[in-house]
Structure 1
Amino acid sequence: MRRRLPTLPPRFSSPAKAARPRRDAPFLKIDCASLPPQLVESELFGHERGAFTGAVERKLGRLELAGGGTIVLDEVAALSPAGQAKLLRVLQEKSFERLGGTETLQINARLVALTNTDLPAAVAAGLFREDLFFRLNVVPIVLPPLRQRRADILPLAEHFLSALRARRGRPDAAFSDAARRALESYSWPGNARELRNAIEGALVFAATDTLEPENFPEAIRAANSGIPVSLSELRSLEEIERQAIAATLEATRYRITRAADILGISRKTLLEKRKKYGLK
């Protein structure tokens, strides 16, 4: 499944999740871009004790845990060459070994691969295996960006708000009519991740349980008003970024992992930017 980065919330990660007979089976996901290659392989295949430094006990991988369920490989193009070769074998032979193991295990899981990468171009550039591409490209689905699916914006927004209420301690939070119009008017270049982060940020900063347009980033408010931002209000990207990072760090009481999640960046990137901008 190819989509703009990223357009699917977790419950929509498989277009056939509700289909029988796997409806009630495990539904597992691996983000291939967020982990080092060895950890991605460990998450997928599992490992035996002593397979690598830090492997102090046997760990079952997602292929083993999924049983007859579904495994979603997010950003499959980020797999290392070795990881691509191992995944190809899984698809061809329906079997694998844990890292450091010799026992061959059979699988019955369904694999769904997600990417925002142009895989044919990656194949042509030698960055992705052609044989693996053909194995994965059996039922391709191209999902348009959120700006081309306006009818999905508010249902997604309600889904994210429902998921975030308890997490942020705001069980009664709801969108005002004006906030709904603002969300529908914005183009969402960052797709679902930007939408989710905007809603979580609004929950952090809103003084009441009613989320208003002013609780959302300036770009969203401007899109709703239809009035261009004046030159006197324009700021450099660095200034906007610095203020966003500073506000998020303060709101999360400097919990780096949580702040990075809200901002949609990695912990490492946040630490680098924190140092760059001289934030405490």
Structure 2
Amino acid sequence: MPSNGSGATRRMRRAASPPPPEESDRASAGRRPSLKSLFRTRSRSLEREIAMLGRALDLPTTILIQGDSGTGKDRLARALHDASNRRGRPFVRVEAANLSDDLFESELFGHERGAFTGAVSGKRGLLEVAGDGTVYLDEVSSLSLAGQAKFLRVLQERTFRRLGGVVVHPFRARLVVSSRRDLSELVREKGFRDDFFYRIDVVSVRLPRLSDRPEDILPLARQCLKESARDYGRPARRFSRDAEELLARHPWPGNVRELFHVVQKAALTADGPIVSAADLPSGELGSVESILGAAVERRWTLKELSNAYIEETLRRAGGNRSLAAKRLGVSRKFLWERAKKK
């Protein structure tokens, strides 16, 4: 049975805590932000998806976000809340991976005093805390079949009761759900309830990998650099040309999360306003694996792969053509003539 002092309980209570009153007031005051401004993209296909979500912003329908790890599901869920008419109300994140069957009802529905051993007082559940705001159910594929059945009942009846209680509470929040796994495939494999899937797959979007929308790499990196420099009080303002070339060339297997991680580290280490390629984490970018990965991912020609390898060798040689030529096994004249042709 659950206990009041569980680590999972504390983690999810912190995640569910509503913002301070002054933050809530700021969110609800002033001009309402657009979803497009909160979740920027230059990918035309993704732009169409975001526009479709924008039309459902103020509807009570459930929104399902699918995509690989690090593609921006959490950011989109938060943007959906902040751009909706619920933006001044609580945004409650529920990590499905932390919801064991024993904890499920106590965490989501709450419990009354004496409902189980250790329940010395009543407690509101996360659905009650959310009120008229948004419940973000992260990684729904982690829910057990029993947990899916219980959540399905809430969505069908739009009510719930605390564990050990008799009072029926209305469920008024908008539900946003995410999954890195393909739920339709899980349904076929009998690992996910089909009735629950049909209930949450009302309005859905699939976020592509960052390598599938390379036009977003530099705009996202520039935005992250600006925000990181502001948050950390650092002087970094923009990337040098060679830094941007390196960022654009990397295949980003960790998607947007990996990109932000790299840029945040660069913002901390750069001493001046311009972040150069040397300021980027050398152990994470420009490796043989990353260059080859980008070549395969983007279907480079042999010429493109050769150019990328030469440019990376020159960068690591600090622009010293003699040293780079020695490492490449070519003449210094070859690099000079190549530079003239660019």
Class of the TM-score when normalised by the shorter of the 2 chains: 0.5 to 0.7
CA distance in 2, matches of 1:212, 1:189: 22
Task: Show the 5 A alignment for 1:113-192.
Answer: 113-165=177-229, 169-177=232-240, 178-192=242-256
Q: Distance in 1 between matches of 2:101 and 2:277?
A: 41
Unaligned stretches of 5+ residues in structure 2: 1-64, 295-306, 317-342
1:79 aligns with 2:147: no
Select which of 280, 283, 295 maps to 1:218.
283
d(CA) in 1 for partners of 2:228 and 2:164?
40
Whether contact under 8 Å (1:67, 1:109) holds in the other structure is yes
Compared with structure 1, are the counterparts of its residues 114 and 204 closer, same or farther at alpha carbon in structure 2 (3 Å cutoff)?
same
Q: Which amino acid aligns with 1:143?
A: L
Alpha-carbon offset, residue 184 of structure 1: 2.4
Per-residue CA deviation, residues 213-271 of structure 1 (Å, 9 max, x unaligned), is 333243423549811889xx9xxxxxxxxxxxxxxxxxxxxxxxxxxxxxxxxxxxxxx
In the TM superposition, 1:92-111 aligns within 5 A as 92-111=156-175
Q: Which runs of 5+ in 1 are unaligned?
A: 234-280
Note the C-alpha offset of 1:83.
1.8
Cα offset for 1:123?
1.6
Which runs of structure 2 are paired with 1:225-264 in the superposition (5 Å)?
226-227=308-309
SS in 2 for 1:101: coil
CA distance in 2, matches of 1:208, 1:103: 61
1:96 to partner: Cα distance: 1.2
Q: CA 1:94 to 1:153, structure 2 compared with 1: closer, same or farther past 3 Å?
A: same
Preserved contact between residue 75 and residue 115 of structure 1 (Cα < 8 Å): yes
Q: Check the 8 A contact 1:14/1:112 in 2, yes or no.
A: no
Cα distance change of structure 1 residues 64 and 87 upon mapping to structure 2, 3 Å threshold: same
Counterpart position of 2:259: 195
8 Å Cα contact 2:108-2:126 kept in structure 1: yes
Q: 1:104 & 1:210 partners in 2: Cα distance?
A: 58
**Shift of residue 212 of structure 1?**
3.0
The 4+ residue runs of structure 1 with deviation greater than 6 A are none
Amino acid at match of 2:214: R
Mapped contact 1:5–1:190 kept (Cα < 8 A):
yes
Contact 1:6 1:116 in 2 (8 A): no
Amino acid at match of 1:226: A
The code of the aligned residue for 1:173 comes to A
- Give the 3 Å change call, closer, same or farther, for CA 148–51 of structure 1 in structure 2: farther
AA matched with 1:170: G
**Aligned-pair CA distance for 1:194:** 1.5
Q: Which residue of 2 aligns with 1:241?
A: none
The letter for the 1-side match of 2:182 is D
Q: Give me the whole-angstrom Cα distance separating, in 2, the residues matched to 1:205 and 1:182.
A: 17
- Once the two structures are TM-superposed, the CA of residue 91 in structure 1 deviates from its matched residue by 0.9
- Equivalent pair of 2:73/2:178 in contact (CA under 8 Å): no
Partner of 1:239: none
In the aligned structure 2, how far is the partner of 1:205 from the partner of 1:142? 35
Inter-CA distance 227–132: structure 2 relative to 1 (3 Å threshold):
same
Whole-angstrom distance in 1 between the partners of 2:247 and 2:81? 27
TM-score (norm 1): 0.68
Cα distance change on mapping 1:19 and 1:106 into 2, 3 Å: same
> After superposition, what is the alpha-carbon deviation per residue over 1:83-141, rounded to whole angstroms, capped at 9, x for unaligned?
21121011101011233433221011111111111112212222211110111111121
CA RMSD of aligned residues (A): 3.3
How far did residue 5 of structure 1 move?
1.2
Aligned length: 230
Asked whether the equivalents of residues 133 and 173 of structure 2 are also in contact (C-alpha less than 8 Å), the reply is: yes
Distance 2:158 2:199 in 1: 12
Q: 1:165 Cα deviation (Å)?
A: 4.2
Displacement, 1:77?
Answer: 0.4
- The structure that has the greater radius of gyration is 2
